[in-house]
Structure 1
């Protein structure tokens, strides 16, 4: 990791409680726009539809005041027929009951509403998308970059909790996993509230092949839905010009001050550099402290094939990795099938990363995901045949093989990736009724990994939806998995991986982030917390808003005492699984998040300090934990040394300026005799002569020169003697005008001496 240069300055994101999004319309009252919008220029009213439906008429009156092109109603030009188009759907629709709701006594402008009551799954798990309120669009198709606006009133009538978790979604049949709503996640309160949902479609769909829906499948909740409408603006309006319910995210008061205080407590050390002569008297010296790397891991996923390509993009890719990061993970090549199919590529990529002096985490020994091409063909065949014994034997052998193959070159291993979600191998081995997060084979996999892992190589868990979003049931399962492994005999759980793939609707406030981290830290019983796959891939999330979220997310995570690693799942759009990486677009243009990242990692949390020793010969500084180069100039010469600050404790470096007397040039027998003289506070007998170097100052500073070739007396002239004679190799010393000796005492103090020849 090096300090990137030539970066444009970017103002720090606001630390105010509210992060602004777009012009606020989401909490406008049930009738009419806010006064501040009155008088805005609008499109020709005649071009807007003129529905007979009074509720739709009021919507048109409101929207036509905006400076946007008119839209058309989808489904129907009246509330009743639009509402009738929606029906229950989803894998667990049988859990839900729907009934018509009379709102005539409610102070609302609409007349049609539905109440949906969602029951609970037998196993108590949560499936937020298992129950949907869905309507297919049969009267028109949709194209890439079309803009639409969904409208709905939502509430939780007071049963099943104080809020109801709802997600508004739109997509097409060929891309069911996608959601093109700018911000669909809602926690509906107990009063009716209107929500505008801007939509920017990213694919095309024929009539009958695309739809809108509400995910209401949080078990045990009741949701009231009314006032439904959908307007189509084609490509005449930018989705960001439309009203949105989510104008701001309320950040907790004082969150940043609290995070900064935790960072000072857990991520810095107080360092004292003392410079004195051999008599213990203070020495005036210039001190320069330059940070080289963080103790904390800031990393990225790396694509192994890209490393081997020979073009300008690959060259930039290889340059940016060690420039911006000190840790990595291979995106695919350490996965089971990839490793066995092409071990040479996996090894070459691992070697390249290690040559850059970067850490690397192993991802992953096992991943029971057929769709990800992570299971060897023979194992998949055995799974198809129900051969549990073969799958168990092969999986245990592979854990042992890959961990032993890389040894301590790997910092930590994801032993079983996504054990909460990908359960096929687990259930094949231990039966379909097994609890996947407490399965006997899961314990055996982790016991094997613990047994074969070298000392210092951590054994981790890793999963998704365990931090991002409102997936409380997944968090519960993950916590149970952690508890299970912590309590298991023979398992040493070293790290808790939190994948952290965020969308716009899955943002967390700093307080919510800290609560989740505290929860996992307590369950982990000392295990490190790692963000393993961070990204913000969402085409409907403005880059400036992503940068704001990134600022508070990274600062909050870095402040947690158990946090150890933060890895992005790629940093460049052209090498990202969703073509939407945090730092660079496909043409290597930095995104706003790039500047937030570099400002925090290489400026706000980076220590470069210069100064002079005070009257006591000391130089005090608070420095971020990491690796450093220290240069001290005493006037007679400079001494440079490297050291690490690894813990947030008080640290000191003692430098003793000693007198030396060079008594020869090395001619004759090739040795240079040097006297190292004692003082009132320094005894040459205390020097660890295995650490001593001598010669031209440039050589010695670089770690070269001559070591000790002869020490008369076999280790010193005796305690209390006024000098120690030491012989060095003349040719290796390359002496010219000045000689320098440096080394350490047995207590670790640095000694340095100069003699002008």
Structure 2
């Protein structure tokens, strides 16, 4: 009987619509409905609520934990919640709620839907919450929900799990406008102000001959890209690469040149010139630059020589590096990512046995230059729900500690052939915005082999990001197939001549046509006053008489969040 029940439980075909609660026995008052493959599960009286929780023991892999097959519907969104408690293993543990889709070919597609990092037994019961949207483009045959995360051998308790259907999630149009009416309206309200043109004329002026032209010359909103310093500084194709950046972006970030392993791969052997040469070149073309990054806590990105240091020696070396790097780049950068991806790596904290060392890193940077804007920067916080709530808690902790945190860097690396769920992106931005801090999209890319599909993906997500009030800037994580970590499938341009792909044409159409303002009106029809709704940025107003500019009447101004009123007098 038990074998028959298990087989029935494992074969769950994704059909029909399921509303409301999806999990069975989420309170673990028994083990009914739950499976513990390769491990043992027992009821335990230490619980978050009710009478029992589930004890997971005998774990040989980090991904092992209580699991349950669930019925879900393609295109639907689900809220997820669960509680976990570590029973050993020390600090630095990551707790996760995971979804495993079994596809028609028996392959698997995994998605972390909630996580909480750097946890220890002293934290007690830890709440994990998140959400997921079932991909409509995958042939899903079965779906499994499970707890995972602590290292192999570590016991944990699980309790109060829930998966709740919240209904369909529209990802926006795939053609035509490539966005919904809300994003258009929000962009208009958020990114534009009124230009109220007022005109007087001398006697005898033929208004039929006069044209008033309002032209935006520079956008205020930051649209930027990661820059490969070796390519930028090169003399061959680098010239075309540089020209493209200078022409189409107003912000940039060194992809690798400012990272500590690049600057000092071996102790005492330092090279700042690679980064500084590029930064000076960018700034000479009016491009503002972010600093990325002072420290990177993920183990694999810490230099070998640094891993041999401990205690006060390590603290002194890290402090000296931060101070020296910020001094050498002083006045050249607008931002610094201080401790990159600290949700997903705590090497420095673990090496020093100091969980609060990440706060100390910010204090060091803030003391070195209080005028520069300091950021957290992490992934799985906007593109999906994996670490969104964990990131919000970290932001609130740093903000409350008063260590100089300015904003949140949200890496937005979407999955291979993943059609961005624009409603989910908006919800995650809304969640992070609860910290009351600006959000910068620091590392945007999508991946699709078909360049028209890629264009749709980029447009969907760009419209969603640009229309959100908490988003202050958007940077692509590269654009050229020969200098992109994800290759041509993510690129806007390709080849030695940097030819635009369909995605590149779509993106530039947004940035340089749809999201820039140009207006020309004949005075005879415009009258003595009219208004232009313009994107924020720098402008010129010109008066033309029979197509020729009237000398001395050109005006320049910057349009911000307040309306602007240029007044023109046209002489006879």
- TM-score (structure 1 length as normaliser): 0.53
Which one of 250, 265, 289 corresponds to residue 170 of structure 2? Answer: 250
In 2, the alpha carbon distance for the partners of 1:570 and 1:533 equals: 8
CA displacement, residues 417-469 of structure 1 (integer Å, 9 cap, x when unaligned): 111112010222244xx3xxxx2x222221232233253x3111100111122
CA displacement, residues 341-380 of structure 1 (integer Å, 9 cap, x when unaligned): 21111110111111121111110111123533x54x5433
Which one of 576, 580, 598 corresponds to residue 508 of structure 2? Answer: 598
1:66-81 residue pairs with structure 2 within 5 A?
Answer: none
Aligned to 1:95: 65
Structure 1 residues 27 and 617: alpha-carbon distance in aligned structure 2, compared to 1, 3 A threshold: same
Please state how far the C-alpha of 1:294 moved relative to its aligned partner.
Answer: 1.3
RMSD of aligned Cα (Å)? 4.2
In 1, the alpha carbon distance for the partners of 2:60 and 2:520 equals: 64
The answer to which of 596-605 and 259-268 deviates more is: 596-605
In 2, the alpha carbon distance for the partners of 1:166 and 1:425 equals: 25
CA displacement, residues 4-41 of structure 1 (integer Å, 9 cap, x when unaligned): xxxxxxxxxxxxxxxxxxxxxx9789xxxxxxxxxxxx
In 1, the alpha carbon distance for the partners of 2:518 and 2:552 equals: 18
In 2, the alpha carbon distance for the partners of 1:479 and 1:505 equals: 28
- The answer (yes or no) to whether the contact 1:500–1:535 under 8 Å persists in 2 is yes
The answer to whether the aligner puts 1:303 opposite 2:228 as a matched pair is yes
Structure 1 residues 652 and 574: alpha-carbon distance in aligned structure 2, compared to 1, 3 A threshold: same
Please state how far the C-alpha of 1:546 moved relative to its aligned partner.
Answer: 2.8
Aligned to 1:267: 191
Please state how far the C-alpha of 1:165 moved relative to its aligned partner.
Answer: 6.3
In 2, the alpha carbon distance for the partners of 1:420 and 1:166 equals: 14
- The answer (yes or no) to whether the contact 1:276–1:656 under 8 Å persists in 2 is yes
The answer to whether the aligner puts 1:405 opposite 2:328 as a matched pair is yes
The answer to whether the aligner puts 1:640 opposite 2:554 as a matched pair is yes
In 1, the alpha carbon distance for the partners of 2:418 and 2:550 equals: 60
In 2, the alpha carbon distance for the partners of 1:403 and 1:329 equals: 15
The answer to whether the aligner puts 1:509 opposite 2:421 as a matched pair is yes
1:733-752 residue pairs with structure 2 within 5 A?
Answer: none
Please state how far the C-alpha of 1:567 moved relative to its aligned partner.
Answer: 0.7
Aligned to 1:557: 465
CA displacement, residues 622-642 of structure 1 (integer Å, 9 cap, x when unaligned): 111112222234786343233
- The answer (yes or no) to whether the contact 1:166–1:188 under 8 Å persists in 2 is no
Structure 1 residues 536 and 194: alpha-carbon distance in aligned structure 2, compared to 1, 3 A threshold: closer
In the alignment of these two chains, the number of paired residues is 456
In 1, the alpha carbon distance for the partners of 2:429 and 2:505 equals: 26
Structure 1 residues 27 and 423: alpha-carbon distance in aligned structure 2, compared to 1, 3 A threshold: closer
Aligned to 1:496: 408
Aligned to 2:26: none
In 1, the alpha carbon distance for the partners of 2:382 and 2:228 equals: 25
In 2, the alpha carbon distance for the partners of 1:251 and 1:513 equals: 9
- The answer (yes or no) to whether the contact 1:255–1:511 under 8 Å persists in 2 is no
SS at the partner of 1:637? Answer: coil
In 2, the alpha carbon distance for the partners of 1:537 and 1:564 equals: 24
The answer to which of 627-636 and 545-554 deviates more is: 627-636
Aligned to 1:286: 211
1:357-368 residue pairs with structure 2 within 5 A?
Answer: 357-368=286-297
The answer to whether the aligner puts 1:534 opposite 2:444 as a matched pair is yes
Aligned to 1:725: none
Which one of 582, 587, 601 corresponds to residue 491 of structure 2? Answer: 582
In 1, the alpha carbon distance for the partners of 2:570 and 2:508 equals: 38
Please state how far the C-alpha of 1:257 moved relative to its aligned partner.
Answer: 0.6
- The answer (yes or no) to whether the contact 1:302–1:331 under 8 Å persists in 2 is yes
Structure with higher Rg: it is 1
Aligned to 1:458: 373
Structure 2: runs of 5+ lacking an equivalent = 1-12, 17-36, 40-58, 72-81, 88-92, 114-130, 149-157, 162-167, 265-269
- The answer (yes or no) to whether the contact 1:153–1:195 under 8 Å persists in 2 is no
Aligned to 2:278: 349
- The answer (yes or no) to whether the contact 1:287–1:611 under 8 Å persists in 2 is yes
In 2, the alpha carbon distance for the partners of 1:267 and 1:342 equals: 40
Structure 1 residues 249 and 516: alpha-carbon distance in aligned structure 2, compared to 1, 3 A threshold: closer
The answer to whether the aligner puts 1:622 opposite 2:537 as a matched pair is no
In 2, the alpha carbon distance for the partners of 1:413 and 1:499 equals: 14
1:29-178 residue pairs with structure 2 within 5 A?
Answer: 91-96=61-66, 120=84, 122=86, 125-127=94-96, 150-151=105-106
Please state how far the C-alpha of 1:497 moved relative to its aligned partner.
Answer: 0.5
In 2, the alpha carbon distance for the partners of 1:461 and 1:308 equals: 28
In 2, the alpha carbon distance for the partners of 1:368 and 1:399 equals: 14
- The answer (yes or no) to whether the contact 2:100–2:111 under 8 Å persists in 1 is no
In 1, the alpha carbon distance for the partners of 2:569 and 2:473 equals: 37
Which one of 442, 447, 453 corresponds to residue 545 of structure 1? Answer: 453
In 1, the alpha carbon distance for the partners of 2:308 and 2:523 equals: 71
- The answer (yes or no) to whether the contact 2:417–2:447 under 8 Å persists in 1 is no
The answer to whether the aligner puts 1:330 opposite 2:300 as a matched pair is no
Aligned to 2:307: 380
Structure 1 residues 656 and 617: alpha-carbon distance in aligned structure 2, compared to 1, 3 A threshold: same
Which is strand-richer, 1 or 2? 2
Structure 1: runs of 5+ lacking an equivalent = 1-25, 30-85, 107-117, 135-147, 155-163, 168-184, 199-212, 224-247, 659-753
Please state how far the C-alpha of 1:276 moved relative to its aligned partner.
Answer: 3.8
- The answer (yes or no) to whether the contact 2:418–2:446 under 8 Å persists in 1 is no
Structure 1 residues 165 and 567: alpha-carbon distance in aligned structure 2, compared to 1, 3 A threshold: closer
In 2, the alpha carbon distance for the partners of 1:582 and 1:194 equals: 22
- TM-score (structure 2 length as normaliser): 0.69
In 1, the alpha carbon distance for the partners of 2:504 and 2:218 equals: 18
- The answer (yes or no) to whether the contact 1:469–1:506 under 8 Å persists in 2 is no
SS at the partner of 1:262? Answer: helix
Structure 1 residues 360 and 467: alpha-carbon distance in aligned structure 2, compared to 1, 3 A threshold: same
In 1, the alpha carbon distance for the partners of 2:481 and 2:494 equals: 5
Structure 1 residues 488 and 318: alpha-carbon distance in aligned structure 2, compared to 1, 3 A threshold: same
